[in-house]
Chain A
Amino acid sequence: MSINDNLFIIIFAAAIYYGTPLVFAALGEILAERSGVINLGVEGMMLLGAVGACWVATNFDGQAGIVLPLALLMAMALATAGAAIHAFLTITLRVNQIISGLALTIFAGIAGVSSYLAGIWDLGQGPVPNQFDNMNLFGLGKVPILGPIIFDQTALTYLSWVCVLGVSIYLFRTRLGLQLRAVGESPQSADSVGVGVARTRYVHVLIGGAFAGIAGACFSLSIVPQWVNGMTAGQGWIALALVIFGFWRPDLMLVGAYLFGGLSSLRFSLQARGIDVPSALLDALPYIMTIVVLVIVSNSAARRRLGAPAALGKPYEREER
């Protein structure tokens, strides 16, 4: 038995695999919340992305290298369209962000547009023909320890690493990132130096939607990989918790995403080994841990004054006269 069959290595590799959609979804939400807009529609936008990607991957013949990027684009387009509704209502009409986000999840989610589209597109007949496979990068996939963890993931995981790096640099090392954070912290000041508050918020809520779309595609093109109504099973909500867990920072969020990815995969990893643990407990574990982590983080965050952008959830109204 090689060292790569070690249970911890398997769990570690699975944590990254199952954590990848969480990374995308939470990364998008970080951008939206940094601009001051909470979007509780993540779960719904993920399902829109999942159904869009599934449709392209099912109906287009051709090389995976062409079909899969197209599927991702479709996922991003549909989820961004969902985000646009939320953006219009919360930024232009200044309605309650929480209820608008919930409305988006109900509208797009398990009993909404995503299942409607899956129905009229006749999806769910079987696995999608084009999937994201593990890549065995540079032929290093069998290398002890690091092979399965780092070099034998799917292209989606590598893409997510690039995105995390890119967003981190954007947020903390560029002028535009500084403007974005200013809009989330103090829209009045940003406005007074000529930063368009509404425009900044629109752009980042829409980009957040695109990321949620990719997160959904992770399910329909890789993890499940076929259409199942409501296949994201609450991962969008866990992504929202991860944003708080990561103090609105991409790097800390990444750690949390893999922690929860590991928890979600525990059931499969342990059962594959014939280790008998009550499956109900394992199923509930990610949800229980989300609550525990939130309690710990929200308490210490309050104490250290770390965390939420100051204008988060507040509509911006410029004094008219």
Chain B
Amino acid sequence: MNLGRFGFRLEPRSDLPKHINFTVPVGSFFAALLAGAVLLLITGQNPISTYSRIVERAFLDVDAINGTLVAATPLLFTGLCAAVAFRIGFFNIGGEGQFYIGAITGSGMALALGADAAGWVAIPLMILAGAVGGAIWAAIPGVLRAYLRTNEIITSLMLNYIAAIIAVYLIFESDSFWRDLEGTGQMFPKGKFIPLDAFWPNWSLGSLVVPFGLVLGAVVAVWLWVLQKRTRFGYEMRVVGGAPTTARYAGMRPGRVIVVVAAISGAMAGLGGAASVGNFRHALDPKGLQQSGYGYAGIVVAALARLNPVAVIFVAILIGGITNAGYSLQGADFPSGLVGILEGLILFCTLGGEVLVRYRIARTERRPSTLAAEVGA
């Protein structure tokens, strides 16, 4: 199928209007909602009532907003994970696994420090442990890609499954350090709770509850923005991402840049895992982590934010709203799978929207057939 057949063609843009950074994502988002509504209609659901319930449970009262901020926190970190890696063309699909590993190392650190450690010691060390765990997990596909030319998409994805198996093993299939072996924990496997002092704070703003993890994520997002826009390393990232050969001629080491970016990307997801334990779950909960699928949703967040770390903050809250609504409306007569459908459609429409950034859709001036007719006449 060729657009030319319908009298249209894609013409590369020479100018880039400023508003496009905003209008294209917003347009894509609403296009996705529209496509979702069509799908709901075809399958006999009522799109208006479904959407209004989502908006209600996501943004319309204080409890809903607080729930949305909770869901937005991990998405913010996994969104940053995808955004920084995709920026240089390193397709890290492993945010999911790096998130699990961050949850394992973060909770492990809190448990190892025990009840004697004060919060101001335990929390920074948990952050560090989560970031390092995620970074190491992401450095594996990074090193393999940089030095052995192995496709990072598949390796990072395989590591997701391996990380999930490790988390399940620690809680369900062994008497590990992470598992609660006292009381009902013997019968019904579950993670050991981290000490109270290691719980991450929730700050109240009026009746709004802001998780510490969300604030941390926002700070990290700004740091990433500065790193990309204002430092020498950020410049190297842009060159390596755009033209690896040029980078080599300019004396940069593309392999090193790829590994460092992979590690930073993994550290983001790992931080998210630590935040999910520290702020919300307070124990390693493999099934809960797997059900959420935050790593994959992070890719949607990053794409809709057009890979801009600061924009990721706002998009995470938006997608967090949908996730939160989907979660709280679960069961009853709310169609399951709708959240994934909307996320997928948002990603499709964002991609379609990118076409409008790169090209102008123009009418073909003269169809060859009419031209021939004119010449003939």
Q: Which residues of A contact B (CB under 8 A)?
A: 40, 85, 88-89, 91-96, 98-100, 102-120, 198-199, 202, 233-234, 237-238, 240-241, 244, 278-280, 283-284, 287-288, 290-291, 294-295, 298-299, 302, 320
CA distance A117 to B341 in the complex (A): 11
B154→A294 contact, CB < 8 A:
yes
Provide the residues of chain B in CB contact with A279, threshold 8 Å: 173
Check A106 against B165 for contact (C-beta < 8 Å).
Answer: no
Cα distance A217–B344 in the bound complex, in angstroms: 22
Is chain B's interface secondary structure helix, strand, loop, or mixed overall? helix
Checking A107, A295, A299 against B344 with a beta-carbon cut-off of 8 angstroms, the contacting residue is: A107
Interface residues of B (CB under 8 A from A): 1-3, 9-11, 39, 43-45, 86, 91, 93, 144, 148-151, 153-155, 157-159, 161-162, 165-166, 168-169, 173, 293, 296-297, 299-300, 303, 335-341, 343-345, 347-348, 351-352, 354-355
Besides A89-B352, A113-B39, A295-B148, 18 other A-B contacts (C-beta < 8 A): A88-B1, A92-B1, A92-B2, A98-B91, A100-B351, A103-B348, A105-B344, A107-B345, A112-B337, A112-B343, A115-B340, A120-B43, A233-B161, A234-B161, A287-B161, A290-B158, A294-B154, A295-B150
Contacts of A116 in B (CB 8 A): 43, 335-338, 340-341
| B351 CB contact (under 8 Å) in A40, A92, A103, A288 | A103
Contact check, A120 vs B150: say whether CB atoms are below 8 A apart. Answer: no
- Residue among B165, B168, B355 with most chain A CB within 10 A: B165
> Are A299 and B157 in touch, CB under 8 angstroms?
no
Which residues of B have CB within 8 Å of A91? 1
**By the criterion CB–CB under 8 Å, are A287 and B296 in contact?**
no
Interface CB pairs A-B, < 8 A, 9: A93-B352, A93-B355, A107-B344, A107-B345, A112-B337, A113-B337, A116-B335, A241-B154, A291-B155
The 10 closest A-B pairs by CB, nearest first: A107-B344, A116-B337, A111-B340, A112-B340, A103-B347, A115-B337, A280-B169, A95-B351, A106-B344, A287-B158
User: Shortest CB–CB separation between residue B294 and chain A, in angstroms?
Assistant: 11
* Alpha-carbon distance between A91 and B39 when the two chains are bound, in angstroms: 23
The docked-state distance in angstroms from the alpha carbon of A64 to that of B150 is 44
Contact: A291 with B348, CB < 8 Å? Answer: no
Minimal Cβ-Cβ distance residue in A for B174: A280
The secondary-structure label for the interface of chain A is: helix
B266 to chain A minimum Cβ distance, whole angstroms, is: 16
Q: Which residues of A contact B150 (CB under 8 A)?
A: 291, 294-295, 298-299
Give the contacting residue for A320; candidates B9, B162, B338; CB below 8 A. Answer: B9
Q: Given that A237-B157, A284-B165 are contacting pairs, would A120 and B335 also be in contact in the complex, using a CB cutoff of 8 Å?
A: yes
Residues of B within 8 A of A238 (CB): 158
A89 to B148, CA, bound (A): 31
Query: In the complex, are the beta carbons of B354 and A106 less than 8 A apart?
Result: no
Q: From B296, which residue of chain A is reached at the shortest CB distance?
A: A106
Q: In the complex, A110→B339 CA distance in Å?
A: 11
- Name A108's closest neighbour in chain B (CB-CB): B344
Residues on A with C-beta less than 8 A from B297 are 106
- Please, which residues of chain A bring their CB within 8 A of the CB of B45? 120
Q: Which residues of A contact B341 (CB under 8 A)?
A: 107, 112-113, 116
Known A-B contacts A98-B153, A115-B336, A244-B151; A288 and B296 likewise in contact (beta carbons under 8 Å): no
Contacts of A202 in B (CB 8 A): 1
**Once the chains are docked, how many angstroms separate the CA of A259 from the CA of B10?**
45
How far, in Å, is B245 (CB) from chain A's closest CB?
A: 16
- B361 (CB) vs chain A CBs: closest residue: A93
Residues in A whose Cβ lies below 8 Å from that of B303? 99
Are A100 and B348 in touch, CB under 8 angstroms?
Answer: yes
* Nearest chain B CB to A98 CB, angstrom units: 6
A92, B144: Cα distance in complex, Å:
33
B337 touches A111 (CB 8 A): yes
Task: Report yes or no: B154 in contact with A290, Cβ–Cβ below 8 A.
Answer: yes
Cβ–Cβ < 8 Å partners of B2 in chain A: 92, 198
Pairwise interchain contact B337-A280, C-beta atoms closer than 8 A: no
- B338: chain A residues within 8 A (beta carbon): 116
Q: Contacts A98-B153, A99-B351 known; A287 to B162 CB distance under 8 Å?
A: yes
Contacts of A117 in B (CB 8 A): 43, 337
What are the residues of chain A within 8 A of B166 when measuring CB–CB? 280, 284
Contact yes or no, A298 B351, CB < 8 A: no
By the criterion CB–CB under 8 Å, are B335 and A119 in contact? Answer: yes
- Cβ contact of A106, chosen from B162, B168, B173, B343, cutoff 8 A: B343
User: Which of A40, A104, A291, A295 interacts with B159 by CB under 8 Å?
Assistant: A291
